[in-house]
Structure 1
C-alpha cells in the first residue's frame, strides 16, 4: 500500500480523508504542523505528500521549497482560494499538481494516482535504455539526468517533461500535448503551467540550449545525438 503524507492543520480533515483513501489502497497519515511533516518525510517512508498553503510555522510555499531542497517526492498542493497566482507559485517551486479548496476527495485521489503512476513508470521504461545527446543523458530507469557529466536534480514533473521531449527529439509538442501526456487527466489545467515547467527545466540544463520554442506551436528537444 502506498503511503501519503498530508500536511494540513485542519484536525477534522485527516481521519475521513484517510478512510476514503484506504478504499483506493492508499494509506494517508496527517501531520498538523510543517515541522512534524518534515520530520516524517525525512524518515523516507512516503510515496507522495499533500501540502496545504495556509499553515502555521511556514506557509505551504515555503514548505514546498524546503522539501524540494531535500527530495523529489511528488507534491500536490491545496490552495484555499484556487487563485491562478497560487497555482503558478506552487508550480514554480516544484509542486507536481495543485487542487483548490474545497475539493472532492475523489478528485484528490485522482490527482494522487496520476503523480504516483508517473513515479512508478520507470520500470516499464527500462527497455528503452539511456537516451544520450550532445552534453546530456537521460536515464528513465533511475530517473536521473547528467548535463555535461554532472548530475541535475529535477522534480518529477521536470523529468517527465524532459523524457517526453527526449524520446522524440525534434518533434514539436504543443502545450495541450504536454498537459495531456504529463497530467493524465483533463481537470482544471492551464497552459501557463507548461511554460513554468519549461522555464525551470531550461534553467537547470544551462549552459545547454536544450529546448527549442516554436512560436504558437510548442516545444521540442533541440540537441543532436551523442557521437558514437
Structure 2
C-alpha cells in the first residue's frame, strides 16, 4: 500500500508532483484546499501510507490539517513550506509531522524523503516490483533478464542490465551522464570519457531503438538522457 494524499493549492505544481510520483508507482490523490483535503482524508484515512501538506492553503494552513490528521491517524506527514523561518519547521514537527521540505523543492529530493519514510515503515520493501514492462519488453529484476514481445531473451551484458534497470526505474527523468556512470560503473564520468555514450548506443541496438532517431532512450543535448517509454511495474 503506497497511497499518498497531497494538500497543495498550486494546481500546476500539484499536478506535476502527482504525475512524477505516479511514474514511481505511488497512488496519489491531490487536494487544492483544506476542505477538499479533509473530505479525502476522511474517505481514505485507513488506506494512506503518507500525507504531504503545504503550509499555505487558501482556506486554512498545513498546521491545522496536521492536527486533523493526528487526531485520527499515525500516518507519516511531510510538510511543504515556502518559509525559511525555523519556527515554521519546529511547529510542524511539534504537531506530529515526520519531515519537512522547503519550497521550491526538487521532486527527486522529495521522492527520496518519501522513500526514506516508507523504508522506516517497512513499505518500500513490500512494494518493490519484480517486473518492469515497456513497449513489449519485460525486465525481470529477479532473473536479471529482458524478454521481447514474443518472449525471446534479449542478450544483455552486466552493464546493459544495470543501465536499463536505472532507466526503467526513472522513466521521464533527465539523467545526467555523471549520475548514469555512478550507477553503472561506480564512478563519475570525466569530460572526455565517452564510454557511457558507447554503452547507450549498444543498449539501443539490443532494444531495436533507432540510433539516429531513438524513441526509447533519447539524448537531451547538454543535459543527459531520458527514457521516454511508458513503464509499468508489477510485483512477483
Per the normalisation by structure 2, the TM-score is 0.49
Root-mean-square deviation (Å): 1.9
Q: Which residue of 2 aligns with 1:54?
A: 56
Of structures 1 and 2, the larger Rg is shown by: 2
1:4 counterpart = 2:4? yes
Query: 1:10 & 1:91 partners in 2: Cα distance?
Result: 23
Q: Distance in 2 between matches of 1:22 and 1:8?
A: 16
**2:75 is matched with which residue?**
73
Structure 1 unaligned blocks of 5 or more: 125-228
- Alpha-carbon offset, residue 22 of structure 1: 2.0
Q: Is the 8 A contact 1:51 1:76 kept in 2?
A: yes
Aligned-partner Cα distance in 1 for 2:18–2:102: 19
Q: Which runs of 4+ in 1 moved over 4 A?
A: none
The aligned length equals 123
Q: Residue 34 of structure 2 corresponds to which residue in structure 1?
A: 34
Aligned equivalents of 2:84 and 2:78: distance in 1?
13
Match of 1:86 in 2: 88
Q: 1:18 corresponds to which residue? A: 18
**SS in structure 2 of the partner of residue 29 of structure 1:** strand
In the other structure, the counterpart of 2:104 is 102
Displacement of 1:63 = 1.1
Deviation sequence 1:28-50 (CA, Å, 0-9, x none): 22101111111111223321110
Deviations 1:40-86 (A, max 9, x none): 11223321110000112221111111211111111000011232111
Q: Which ranges of structure 2 fall in alignment gaps of 5 or more residues?
A: 127-236
The verdict on how the C-alpha distance between 1:20 and 1:63 changes in structure 2, with shifts beyond 3 A counting, is same
What is the DSSP-based 3-state SS (H/G/I as helix, E as strand, rest coil) of the residue aligned with 2:12? Answer: coil
